[in-house]
Chains A and B, each alone.
Chain A
Amino acid sequence: MMKMLSKYKYLRWFLGLLVITSALVFITAFGFSSLLEWQSPFLSHCFFVLMICFSLCLFRIMRGPTPADRAVAVDTLGILIVGFCAILSIPTGRDWYLDIAIAWALQSFIGALALAKYLEGRGFDE
């Protein structure tokens, strides 16, 4: 039973990676012109650096030994996305990216508190 479960787990990981790579190939091949016209050299360098940070956080989510590790990594990922929205608002000159950043910070805070309550073993309405 455990062997079959682990086999299905690897199959699920493979399917998820396939979907993500096909979406990236679709975006870059038949690219949305509105995404491409916003690019500047500074934005592309920051994009690569933040992608490295995102991949490190995703690695910790993938094989954290305890659930607390995964909660910490999810919280970190939310704060990184806030910084990415702030960087994206500079070359485009549109200020509603910072609205997205504030809303995402609020959502990440509430999510972290809910995860902490779940880790303590209490219900959500206590």
Chain B
Amino acid sequence: MNEIIGYSFIVIGMLFDIFGCLGLLRLPDVYNRLQATTKCVTLGTCGILFGTLVIKGFSGTGIKAILCILFLILTSPVSAHALSRGAHISGVKLWDKSVCDKYEEDRSVHSS
């Protein structure tokens, strides 16, 4: 029973991985790509690690899986935010159908 639940979690995680990589391939802009890959790949990898935890139980492998989940949840939004900020400062244009750019307004207010 544990193995069935764990393997279903792993399959859900693999589906999130595939959708994240499809978004990385198809979306038109750096920021849209970053949004798709960060959410989907982090959730997918955390799903795979949670499936490992369910299959193995609270042995040494399960404790390491919990540590890895905590570390990914803590660090992945930080790196995504830093990458998007770096891309905006380095002058990557938004997609031409984008609606608003609040960060540009903030930067122009603070610099003037």
Q: List A residues at the B interface (Cβ < 8 Å).
A: 42, 46, 49-50, 52-53, 56-57, 59-60, 66-69, 71-73, 75-76, 79-80, 82-83, 86-87, 89-90, 95, 98-99, 101-102, 105-106, 108-109, 112-113, 115-121
The interface residues of chain B, by DSSP majority, are classed as helix
Q: Which residues of A contact B25 (CB under 8 A)?
A: 56, 59-60
**Pairwise interchain contact A109-B79, C-beta atoms closer than 8 A:** yes
14 A–B pairs (Cβ distance < 8 Å), ordered by A: A46-B10, A53-B20, A67-B90, A75-B80, A76-B20, A76-B24, A79-B76, A82-B68, A83-B17, A83-B45, A86-B45, A98-B52, A109-B78, A120-B90
Instruction: State whether A71 touches B83 (Cβ < 8 A).
Output: yes
Number of interface residues of B (CB under 8 A): 46
Q: Using an 8 Å CB-CB cutoff, how does the interface string of B36-53 with A read, 1 for contact, 0 for none? A: 010001101100110010
Partner of A86, one of B60, B68, B71, B75: B68
**Which chain B residues have a beta carbon within 8 Å of chain A's beta carbons?**
7, 10, 13-14, 17-18, 20-22, 24-25, 30, 33-34, 37, 41-42, 44-45, 48-49, 52, 55-56, 59-61, 64-65, 67-68, 71-72, 75-76, 78-80, 82-83, 85-87, 89-90, 92
